[in-house]
Amino acid sequence: MALSLAVAGCLSAALPAAGASLDGAAPAAATAAGDNTATVFYYTKTRNWAAYNLHWAPDGGSWTTAPGTGMEAACTDWVKKTVSLGSAAGLQATFNTGQGTWDNNGGKNYALGTGVVTVKDGVVAHSDPCATDPGTGTGTGASATVYYSTTTVGWPTVNLHWAPTGGAWTTAPGAGMDPACTGWVKKTVALGSAAGLAATFNNGNGTWDNNNGRNYALGSGLSTVKDTKVTANAADPCAAVVPDTTAPTVPAGLRASATDVSTVVTWDAATDDRGVTGYQVTRSGGAKGTVVTSVTSTVLTESALEERTAYTYTVKAVDAAGNLSAASAAALATTGTRPPAPAGSAPLGGDPRKDPIYFVLTARFNDGDSANNRGGGQDVKSGNAANNDPMFRGDFKGLVEKLDYVKALGFSAIWITPVVLNRSDYDYHGYHGYDFYKVDPRLESAGASYQDLINAAHAKGVKIYQDVVYNHSSRWGAKGLFTPTVYGVRDVQWSWYYDEKQAGFEYDGLTVDPKSGKSYYNGDMWSTAEPAGNTCVNWGAATQYKSAEGYTIYNCQWPNPTSGMFPKALFHQCWIGNWEGEEARSCWIHEDLADFNTENPAVQNYLIGAYNKYIDMGVDGFRVDTAVHIPRVTWNRRFLPAIQQRVAQQFGAQKADDFYVFGEVGSFVNDKWNRGSANQSAQYYTWKESATYSADDATAAVQQYTTDNDPAKQPTSTNAFLNGNLYHAPDRSRFSGMNVIDMRMHMNFGDANNAFQNGKDSDDSYNDATYNVVYVDSHDFGPGKSSTRYAGGTDAWAENMALMWTFRGIPTLYYGSEIEFQAGKQIDCGPTCPLAGTGRAYYGDKIAGSVTASDFSKAATATGPVAATLDSPLVKHLQRLNEIRRAVPALQMGQYSTEGVSGGMAFKRRYTDTATGVDSFALVAVTGAATYAGIPNGMYKDAVTGEVKTVTNGQLPVPAPGKGNMRVYVLDLGGSNAAPGKVGAAGPYLK
């Protein structure tokens, strides 16, 4: 019975009902009839306080009187308190010493539910850490000792949920496992007369390792479970391990700075003989007393502090055994005045696969405020000036004004280009970041700040995905980290280029320097005299080279990685030669893209602190630029956990799960693995590490590349595939936290069927391909790495869209493709030609006028050019595709299969969620005829035509619908899972 339940969905509520707890299991707290309770366990080892108080309030109720109620000893390293909640479904909580030192979860309180709740170093889980295992004791019979490897899953808490062979299961989530040694936890359970047990493992927070729905079959004696591999009668993996009693080194280099009422605290990584697992940051000062916050990265940002208040910070490092270092030297930061509070916005949340994405280059989409338009130093040379088309033209105000256009197309997410202050000769696209902590003012207007855009989009139910760059800055470095000084001389040749220095004037891309009349001022960047600490070789010496104008070029005049101009600690020092080699992750792509040394904690702290700011503003996800140029081990150790931690801290664990991160891993080839290199392939970045590397990030990056580059040794997944006709719970335990753009489909979208066949071929190597971002072309390339926007014709576009909107993955459209905007035009030519003739042309003329969306895919009113745009055939096609996809959950989140399916682009998809009662099964035929065999009998309704077919023999034939058309037969399961029938009105293609 337990096995069948596991196959059907071991994580469902049915599992606990498979049997009550075995004899000897006692609940953590008794619950009176009609009264909810919570028993809160708090971990003490890494606090080492003299006393522990729980200060709490039931949801919707009043707080206890500070400092709350004392907690009592529970078992080694734990205290507990049981509280009555009445009818409340949970409680808010903080913990303190009773003497002014608090753990308030970084100012967000802890949100706890009912039942048994554990709080360990900032992590909330659900199991009794002091419980006696069901069946354990001194009685006769066999026992089993289970060791579980935590290296891959990375869970801070592990529970064993089990049943002796032929017996009943523990109550989910089972019993907490005990630390054994680095990378292992263990539990010994009594089996009585049973010869073995069935087992699953979980983190107490809903994430499970259930061996892909098959449970683990373990015997008596000692067994180990590592990366789904069971070893029976194994040697004790911790037998030779000496207990860890050595504390980490004291964190050094503590730095604290304040802006307004926010602080950023950074420090150098500590070391440990077995690895540092986190840090405790103690803040003192202000009226709220001492606060202790647990973090896993080497940066902490805090907001909403008191005004004009001095705060002192110290940091301790902690290892897996709970050993604490001594406190670091203190750092001081004094806050200023509180800025006017923006109307903030939380991420919308929800499964990101429900939300089709519209991708815009903000500066080229729609101009809402001409006062922030800027042409830059290349305005005349590029030809933009002659067209009255400055590179910075579109802005947030223009995007806010056209949110209804995006919604009327049917999109519920917008991917925008980077928003940070850029600094380069041609930086409208946003990928030349200079001040990562400042929004580029060329995008903002009064009443249309970045925060205003986020808020306005959310008010319409539309998500904002921010393009972010961790790999590189601009040629001028990164403000606040390092900006280079170049050699310059204001002689007759170069005075036009090197601006006179203006004391107190600061570049922001928008403000005009009163002396030069330029917004692209560079007077702060050059010096004729060699600056103090210069490391650039042959400073100011004349070279043999001349500029385009015939002027002498001097050494150290232009930023580059090999001259010594950029410090080795913060920036890499080489050009990429082999794009599939290790150097592709540790060298410069281009002179305008100064490559960060992302393995340096100072760089990591700078970037984490910067992007925390935008998380706090409520963005819904990040599109990660040039993700492949940073080692996966660095993403997995530093940046991805920091994103998750910040979202969870600010908005809760569920919003962190829903925060969508998708990376650009530039695998511009047609094969499954990028020229045989796993490290350079998109799917590689969707996985956690499969090995343990050096604690030093730079060393670990090389170790990873040299030891984990064989495609044959990479993990596989069934997360995207149906089991016959059945959906199964995906195993996301080894998910890295980064989804990816489907580069293989993108490269093959010269033909829809080719994209489909290639996409299927790669899906077993992604952690979960249903989260892939799928597009035909973008701001960089068309299919096949073409330098032009897709020009396959309207029918081909309609066919491509029909596939994207029904196949697995998240359909994404580059702005203007809905009307074949700039089809066949060169996507980007830099400043050598006008933008108006490229794939990045200004789009606002096509959407001028007014538009009001009554719902997704519905324009209530439209006037002017935008009305004509909305009336174009591909727009009508796109609107209906979005309607159909939104009406059929299987098309949004379903797994798929081609088993028993004949036809070219034909497949079946299903999505089942027992928690909400959703069950959706659909048969899709794109373009060609198809036959489906072995499918469930019943009534099927086509979402395109409304045609009804009744299946009695497990087979359903579908005639060819034709190019751009399709058929989507949905199984009518009745009730809330009834097939929708015909969705929307027939159009130029779907008919």
- As given in the structure block, the two tokens for residue 442 are 């060329």
DSSP lists the bridge partners of residue 57 as: 92
pLDDT over 60 at 26, yes or no: no
pLDDT over 50 at 938, yes or no: yes
Banded model confidence at residue 137, pLDDT cuts 50, 70, 90 = very low
Do 109 and 651 touch, CB atoms closer than 8 A?
no
Q: The pTM is what?
A: 0.76
Do 718 and 724 touch, CB atoms closer than 8 A?
no
Do 319 and 247 touch, CB atoms closer than 8 A?
yes
Nearest CA among 928, 976, 979, 915 for reference residue 951: 979
Instruction: Find the length of the chain.
Output: 991
For residue 705, count other CB atoms closer than 10 A to its CB. Answer: 22
Distance (Å, rounded) from C-alpha 12 to C-alpha 912?
Answer: 12
Please give the single-letter amino acid code of residue 139.
G
Please compute the mean of the pLDDT values over residues 899-919 and round it to a whole number.
Answer: 96
In the prediction, which pLDDT does 507 show? 96
Query: Cβ neighbours of residue 487 under 8 Å, at least 6 residues apart?
Result: 526, 527, 528, 536, 539, 540, 554, 555, 556, 557
Bin 632: left if φ > 0, else alpha if -120 < ψ < 50, else beta: alpha
Query: Cβ neighbours of residue 557 under 8 Å, at least 6 residues apart?
Result: 486, 487, 488
Helices 601-616 and 640-651: crossing angle in degrees, nearest 10, is: 30
In the prediction, which pLDDT does 341 show? 54
Q: Tens digit of pLDDT for each residue in 482-507?
A: 999 999 999 888 998 999 999 889 99
In the prediction, which pLDDT does 670 show? 81
Write a three-state SS string for 618-674: CCCEEEEECHHHCCHHHHHHHHHHHHHHHHHHHHCHHHHHHCEEEECCCCCCCCCCH
Bin 106: left if φ > 0, else alpha if -120 < ψ < 50, else beta: left
Please compute the mean of the pLDDT values over residues 917-932 and round it to a whole number.
Answer: 98
Please compute the mean of the pLDDT values over residues 769-789 and round it to a whole number.
Answer: 97
In the prediction, which pLDDT does 843 show? 98
Nearest CA among 737, 741, 752 for reference residue 793: 752
Do 706 and 679 touch, CB atoms closer than 8 A?
no
In the prediction, which pLDDT does 342 show? 52
Largest CA distance in the chain: 97
pLDDT over 50 at 22, yes or no: no
Please compute the mean of the pLDDT values over residues 781-793 and round it to a whole number.
Answer: 96
Based on the number of CB atoms within 10 Å of its own CB, is 975 exposed (0-12), middle (13-18) or buried (19 or more)? Answer: exposed
Q: Tens digit of pLDDT for each residue in 637-695?
A: 999 999 999 999 889 899 999 999 999 999 887 889 998 999 999 999 999 999 999 99
CA 884 to chain centre: 27
Bin 869: left if φ > 0, else alpha if -120 < ψ < 50, else beta: alpha
Q: Tens digit of pLDDT for each residue in 839-891?
A: 999 999 999 999 999 999 999 999 999 999 999 999 999 999 999 999 999 99
- As given in the structure block, the two tokens for residue 585 are 């992750």
Helices 873-887 and 794-804: crossing angle in degrees, nearest 10, is: 10
Please give the single-letter amino acid code of residue 713.
K
Please compute the mean of the pLDDT values over residues 39-55 and round it to a whole number.
Answer: 94
In the prediction, which pLDDT does 29 show? 31
Please give the single-letter amino acid code of residue 7.
V
Banded model confidence at residue 4, pLDDT cuts 50, 70, 90 = very low
Banded model confidence at residue 7, pLDDT cuts 50, 70, 90 = very low
Q: Tens digit of pLDDT for each residue in 423-443?
A: 999 999 999 999 999 999 999
Q: Which helix (H) or strand (E) holds 932?
A: strand 930-933
Query: Is the Cα dihedral 701, 707, 711, 715 positive or negative?
Result: negative
Q: Tens digit of pLDDT for each residue in 261-304?
A: 888 888 888 889 888 888 999 999 999 899 999 887 787 878 77
E-strand ranges in 353-444 read 357-360, 413-416, 420-422, 433-439
Query: Cβ neighbours of residue 917 under 8 Å, at least 6 residues apart?
Result: 976, 977
Q: Where are the alpha helices (DSSP H) in 659-742?
A: 697-707
Distance (Å, rounded) from C-alpha 414 to C-alpha 457?
Answer: 9
Query: Cβ neighbours of residue 748 under 8 Å, at least 6 residues apart?
Result: 670, 754, 755, 757, 758, 759, 783, 784
Please compute the mean of the pLDDT values over residues 108-121 and round it to a whole number.
Answer: 89
CA 22 to chain centre: 41
Please compute the mean of the pLDDT values over residues 789-802 and round it to a whole number.
Answer: 98
E-strand ranges in 711-867 read 739-740, 773-774, 810-814, 850-855, 858-863
- As given in the structure block, the two tokens for residue 691 are 């090995």
- As given in the structure block, the two tokens for residue 755 are 């994209």
DSSP lists the bridge partners of residue 392 as: 374
pLDDT over 50 at 12, yes or no: no
Please give the single-letter amino acid code of residue 519.
S
Do 81 and 74 touch, CB atoms closer than 8 A?
no
Query: Cβ neighbours of residue 92 under 8 Å, at least 6 residues apart?
Result: 56, 57, 59, 63, 109, 110, 111, 112
Angle CA 502–505–508, to nearest 5: 135
Banded model confidence at residue 33, pLDDT cuts 50, 70, 90 = very low
Nearest CA among 55, 37, 69 for reference residue 109: 55
pLDDT over 70 at 916, yes or no: yes
Distance (Å, rounded) from C-alpha 238 to C-alpha 266?
Answer: 35
In the prediction, which pLDDT does 344 show? 66
Distance (Å, rounded) from C-alpha 503 to C-alpha 300?
Answer: 33
- As given in the structure block, the two tokens for residue 434 are 């200079």
Please compute the mean of the pLDDT values over residues 138-154 and round it to a whole number.
Answer: 80
pLDDT over 70 at 317, yes or no: yes
Please compute the mean of the pLDDT values over residues 809-833 and round it to a whole number.
Answer: 98
Based on the number of CB atoms within 10 Å of its own CB, is 72 exposed (0-12), middle (13-18) or buried (19 or more)? Answer: exposed
Query: Cβ neighbours of residue 779 under 8 Å, at least 6 residues apart?
Result: 359, 361, 417, 429, 814, 827, 828, 839, 840
Cα 763 to Cα 421, 490, 915, 933, distances in angstroms: 37, 58, 27, 23
Bond prior to 67 in cis (omega within 30° of 0) = yes
Query: Cβ neighbours of residue 876 under 8 Å, at least 6 residues apart?
Result: 987, 988
